[in-house]
Structures are given as C-alpha cells and as structure tokens.
Structure 1
Amino acid sequence: MIDHITIGVSDFDRSTAFYDQALAPLGVSRMFDVPEEHTDGVKVTGYGDDRPWFWLAEEHATRGLMHIAFQAKRQADVDAFHAAALRAGGADNGVPGLRPHYHADYYAAFVLDPDGHNIEAVCHAR
C-alpha cells in the first residue's frame, strides 16, 4: 500500500497557496511543515486529512523527481526492503532507522531506484 507521495514544485510559495485553496473542499489541509534543520534548508510541507500523505518539496531538492513511500507492517520489513533494493542495484539514500522528527515511531529506509526516484519503506508501528 502507498503510504505517501512527494512532488517537487518550482515555486514553493505559489504551490502551497494553490494547494491550500484547491484541496480545502476535499477536506485536505496543510498539516505539517518539516523543520528546515531536518531538510538542509529545503522547504517541505505535508497535506492530508487524518495525517499528511501528500507532500510538496522545493524542486531543487527533489531534482524534479518523484518520492513515493510504501507502508511496511514491521520494522524488519523496512530492513529487508532496504537490503533487497541495494542488492537489486538501488543506491542507499537513508539507512533503516527511526525518523523522530516526523513522529516517535516513524521507522523508514530510503533508496534511489535506477532512475533516481527516492523510494521509501516506512513502518509507523512500535
């Protein structure tokens, strides 16, 4: 199952103004701005209803490429994903581990696929 997706935007302020208004009738609102100290100064924000699942990031940070995260049931599945993706030719983009700046139980790993897309596996369970 897809957990969340991130798209790169060329003008962060213009795009957030657009999505703030366009998504409101659907019950989707801006819920979380990632602290820039965790993103090397890149602006990143998340939209959702019960939790953020649609993210915007400054395009220079994503190089215009897609980020997609798949849900894992267990932390061991995240570890297995990371190892399998590296064996398959992916490049490490973040070793398995907790990312508490998202929430206390956010356990994830990141790889770049052959086209440079940032692929993540994430477990939200303890």
Structure 2
Amino acid sequence: MIDHTGVTASDFAASSKFYDAAFAAMNGSKLVTIPLEYTGGVQVAGYGRDRPVFWISEGAAQSPPVHVAFSARSHAEVDAFYAAAIEAGGRDNGAPGPRPHYHADYYGAFVRDPDGNNIEAVCHLPE
C-alpha cells in the first residue's frame, strides 16, 4: 500500500498554483510547507485532506513523466478537479467520464500538470 508519494516541480510556483486548485476542488489543500532550513533550500509542500499524502519538491521534472491518481468521493468531485486543474494551467489528457474498459464503476479525468505528469482524479462509486 502507498502511504504517500510526490513529484518534482521545475517551476514550483506554477505547480503550487496547479495543485492548490486541483486539491481544493476535491476538498483537499496544501497542509504543510517544509521550512527551507530542513530541505537544503529546496521548496517542498505536502497536500491532502487530513494529512499530507502528495508532495511536490522543487527540482527537475521527472523523465519520463509519472502518472498519479487521486481518489475522488463523487463524480462531481472528478468534474470539479478537471475544471479547476485546467483553469490553473493544466492540459487536458482525458475529460471526465466513465472508463468501463478499466472497470464498470470507473469515472475519471486526466490532466497534465505543468511538468507533463499525468494527474488523475477517479471515483469508483456508481452515480
């Protein structure tokens, strides 16, 4: 099981704007910013609902880009994630909708973050 994960951000400000918006749309937020004296001067922030589960760290973008999927609690949250992420500078990589080829109750949306990572919101509940 995964407890937490993260990505590096080549433009920390752009990535912060993107993830601030994407997480807010799913009732999450930036929960912690690590003081620079603990990171060797690298900007680091953790996002989640109750505790940090996703981290961004200032640095070169991953190559190749990664795919991370976040659990949404409703189809409406998936839709809100997609709209907010696009508004905050993300690029479409799959509009919200059912993905029955994955699973009967799979409703997801895919957006590329500022570094090209494939960021997804998915709900496994029927609606």
Once residues 125 and 110 of structure 1 are traced to their aligned partners in structure 2, the CA distance between those partners, rounded to angstroms, is 17
**2:96: which partner in 1?**
96
Once residues 115 and 124 of structure 1 are traced to their aligned partners in structure 2, the CA distance between those partners, rounded to angstroms, is 27
1:99 Cα offset (Å): 0.3
Once residues 64 and 100 of structure 1 are traced to their aligned partners in structure 2, the CA distance between those partners, rounded to angstroms, is 27
Task: Name the aligned partner's letter for residue 110 of structure 1.
Answer: F
Task: Name the aligned partner's letter for residue 79 of structure 2.
Answer: D
Q: When the two structures are superposed, what TM-score results if normalisation uses the length of structure 2?
A: 0.50
Q: What are the residue-to-residue correspondences of 1:37-56 with 2, within 5 Å?
A: none
Query: Which structure 1 segments of 5+ residues have no match?
Result: 6-62
Structure 1 runs of 4+ aligned residues shifted over 2 Å read none
1:65 Cα offset (Å): 1.1
Secondary structure (helix, strand or coil) at the match of 2:93 reads strand
Task: Name the aligned partner's letter for residue 125 of structure 2.
Answer: A
Query: Which structure 2 segments of 5+ residues have no match?
Result: 6-62
Say whether residues 1:74 and 2:66 are aligned partners: no
Q: When the two structures are superposed, what TM-score results if normalisation uses the length of structure 1?
A: 0.50
CA RMSD of aligned residues (A): 1.6
Task: Decide which structure has greater strand share.
Answer: 1
Once residues 65 and 87 of structure 1 are traced to their aligned partners in structure 2, the CA distance between those partners, rounded to angstroms, is 21
1:73 Cα offset (Å): 0.5
Once residues 64 and 114 of structure 2 are traced to their aligned partners in structure 1, the CA distance between those partners, rounded to angstroms, is 15
1:64 Cα offset (Å): 1.5
Task: Decide which structure has greater helix share.
Answer: 1
**1:115: which partner in 2?**
115
